[in-house]
């Protein structure tokens, strides 16, 4: 007995010692935002310089690491970190094409958002707290992206819930508190469902490792009946659907827009919503496997649910006068493209869905940055207050327009590429109804975005703005202006250069190819 104990201890140590460079890189990527975050917590408010330096250096460092990893993966290196967590279950970080896509997206956007947040939060209280949790939030996201098994995924997924909460309630108002509670109600309940599903799956399969084509097929013993697996699938997708804001689990997202603009950007584009969608992709591809899921008959209902979400949320968006609320509903609808693309069984649609993970992020973050600028500079929160704002803040509105048009799907912007692939894929998979959905939703998108653009550019300005603060010579602070421009250009770029190597589309094709065995 004792010997056994000792043996166990030794093998743990060995595990830790034998970690090579390829094993440490994922940890470095985590650490590059974790450590700055932890340090920042203990910084006094006044130490602005050090904090900024920490933030930016962390973000840049992460980008470098991610670049190295991308190069490595491209050259066929596999990056994997394994640490013992629970008896027979390990903490696994693993880098494959899909995770890399998400990691790259979030670390690029994190850098941009950090710059934006630094500008946005100048001389506002509790910045150390804010940036601390901000960094942890990204750490959790990267962890979600690189999780190598469902347990690790769950771990970071829950962590993400927890560290996002302080950001949502950051303003400390009563509204913020309530929004935070709503957020927790949804996400923690979702996490519980996810956990049950995970444990159940584990008791059936005895493993949780993500594998191409899914592990359930091999490991699910013949005795386990399909109904059980369906139930598990429902549990998992429901748990993930909360963050992915699938109707009817989307309620928290519109409320959460009380948070400061950078946080909204984080929620809608970088971290939370994405984690949910990403999780659904993982579950369908690497847990169940697309074919197995398909002949379980769970993909079609999911696709339908996604379609419903798309239409419903777009309709809701139509009737919002509050800009951020409208954007929030637009997110709800847009994020479901990803689910839709994956649930439409077929390689091309899959490409559309996966690539939308990136495209939606770029476009939506642009829009939220712009909304933040309007609120910060002119105190504009409602669309009805935006008359002629483009003349006051042209650059902001240029970025906004690019993002909005992209959302509508105007070629050659990013959104168009996604929708194009989705449409073709749906045809190829013989599910024409999806095309109808796409067209419809595009019309709706146009219906709720174009009026904004029109008001901003062509309506006569009322002359006075709700609450204007002088922001120097430029239309607003550079730190606030640059990020949206950058992301807007990126959104344009990924659309124009979609077919270039290393473009998101390229990666998406790689991933879908792997999944569909080509």
Which residues would be at the binding site for another protein (CB under 8 A)?
Answer: 1-2, 4-6, 8-9, 12, 84-88, 91, 126, 129, 154-155, 158-159, 161-162, 165-166, 169-170, 172-174, 176-177, 180-181, 184, 188-189, 191-192, 195-196, 199-200, 202-203, 206
Q: How large is the angle between the packed helices 226-243 and 272-282, nearest 10 degrees?
A: 160
Choice between 166 and 406, CB closer to another protein: 166
Smallest gap from Cβ 221 to another protein, in A, equals: 13
CB 42 to another protein: min, Å: 9
User: Minimum distance from CB of 28 to another protein (Å)?
Assistant: 18
For residues 284 and 489, give the distance between their C-alpha atoms in angstroms, rounded to a whole number.
Answer: 32
Min dist. Cβ of residue 199 to another protein (A):
5
Q: Minimum distance from CB of 167 to another protein (Å)? A: 11
Compare residues 194 and 390 and give the one whose CB is closer to another protein: 194
Cβ–Cβ < 8 Å for 415, 438? no
How many angstroms separate the Cα of 517 from the Cα of each of 254, 338, 514? 39, 20, 5
Q: Is 206 or 248 the residue whose CB approaches another protein more closely?
A: 206
Q: Considering the complex, what minimum distance in angstroms separates the CB of residue 287 from another protein?
A: 17
CB of 61 to another protein, least distance (A): 23
Q: Closest CB to another protein among 166 and 353?
A: 166
**Phi, psi (5° rounding) for residue 147?**
-55, 135
Structure tokens at 276: 């949910």
For residue 382, give the DSSP letter. B
- Cβ proximity to another protein, 126 vs 459, nearer residue: 126
The residue among 1 and 222 lying less far from another protein, judged by its C-beta, is 1
Handedness of CA 495, 496, 502, 507 (dihedral sign): positive
| Complex with another protein: residue 234 or 311, whichever CB lies closer | 234
Give the pair of three-digit tokens for residue 393: 């803040």
- Token output for 415: 């959104």
In the bound state with another protein, the residue whose beta carbon lies nearer, of 7 and 67, is 7
Q: CA dihedral defined by 487, 493, 494, 499, rounded to 10 degrees?
A: -170
10 Å CB burial of residue 284 (0-12, 13-18, 19+) is buried
In the complex with another protein, the residue whose CB is nearer, 70 or 154, is: 154
Q: How far apart are CA 210 and CA 285, in angstroms?
A: 9
CB neighbours of 437 closer than 8 A, spacing ≥ 6? 307, 310, 311, 340
Residue 130 CB, shortest distance to another protein, in Å, is 12
Residue 506 C-beta: closest distance to another protein, Å: 34
């Amino acid at each position: 007995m004792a010997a056994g104990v000792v043996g166990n201890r030794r093998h743990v140590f060995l595990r830790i010692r034998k970690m090579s460079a390829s094993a440490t890189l994922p940890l470095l990527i985590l650490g590059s935002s974790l450590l700055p975050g932890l340090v920042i917590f203990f910084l006094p408010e006044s130490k602005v310089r050090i904090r900024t330096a920490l933030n930016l250096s962390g973000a840049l460092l992460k980008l470098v690491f991610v670049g190295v990893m991308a190069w490595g993966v491209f050259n066929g290196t596999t990056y994997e970190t394994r640490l013992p967590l629970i008896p027979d279950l390990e903490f696994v970080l693993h880098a494959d094409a899909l995770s890399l896509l998400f990691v790259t997206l979030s670390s690029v956007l994190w850098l941009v958002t950090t710059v934006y947040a630094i500008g946005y939060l100048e001389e506002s209280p509790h910045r150390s707290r804010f940036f601390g949790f901000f960094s942890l939030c990204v750490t959790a996201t990267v962890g979600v992206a690189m999780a190598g098994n469902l347990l690790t995924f769950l771990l970071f997924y829950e962590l993400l819930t927890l560290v996002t909460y302080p950001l949502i309630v950051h303003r400390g108002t009563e509204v913020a508190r309530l929004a935070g509670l709503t957020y927790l109600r949804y996400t923690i309940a979702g996490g519980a469902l996810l956990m049950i599903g995970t444990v159940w799956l584990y008791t059936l399969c005895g493993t949780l490792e993500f594998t191409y084509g899914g592990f359930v097929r091999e490991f699910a013993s013949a005795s386990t009946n399909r109904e059980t697996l369906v139930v598990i699938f429902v549990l998992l997708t429901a748990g993930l659907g909360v963050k992915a804001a699938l109707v009817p689990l989307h309620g928290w997202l519109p409320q959460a827009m009380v948070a400061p603009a950078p946080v909204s950007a984080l929620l809608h584009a970088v971290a939370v919503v994405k984690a949910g969608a990403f999780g659904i992709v993982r579950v369908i591809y690497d847990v169940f496997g697309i074919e197995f899921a398909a002949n379980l008959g769970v993909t079609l209902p999911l696709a339908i649910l996604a379609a419903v979400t798309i239409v419903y949320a777009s309709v809701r968006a139509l009737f919002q006068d509050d800009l951020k609320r409208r954007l929030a509903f637009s997110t709800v609808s847009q994020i479901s493209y990803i689910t839709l693309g994956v649930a439409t069984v077929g390689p091309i649609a899959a490409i559309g869905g996966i690539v939308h993970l990136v495209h939606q992020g770029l476009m939506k973050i642009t829009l939220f940055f712009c909304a933040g600028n309007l609120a910060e500079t002119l105190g504009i929160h409602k669309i009805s207050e935006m008359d002629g704002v483009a003349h006051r803040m042209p650059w902001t509105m240029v970025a906004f327009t690019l993002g909005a048009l992209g959302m509508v799907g105007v070629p050659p912007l990013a959104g168009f590429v996604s929708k194009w692939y989705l449409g073709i894929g749906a045809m190829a998979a013989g599910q024409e109804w999806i095309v109808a959905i796409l067209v419809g939703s595009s019309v709706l998108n146009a219906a709720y975005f174009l009026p904004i653009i029109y008001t901003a550019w062509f309506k006569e300005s009322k002359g006075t703005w709700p609450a204007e603060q002088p922001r120097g010579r430029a239309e607003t602070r550079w730190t606030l202006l640059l990020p949206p421009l950058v992301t807007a250009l990126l959104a344009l770029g990924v659309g124009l250069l979609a077919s270039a190597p290393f473009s998101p589309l390229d990666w998406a094709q790689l991933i879908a190819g792997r999944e569909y065995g080509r």
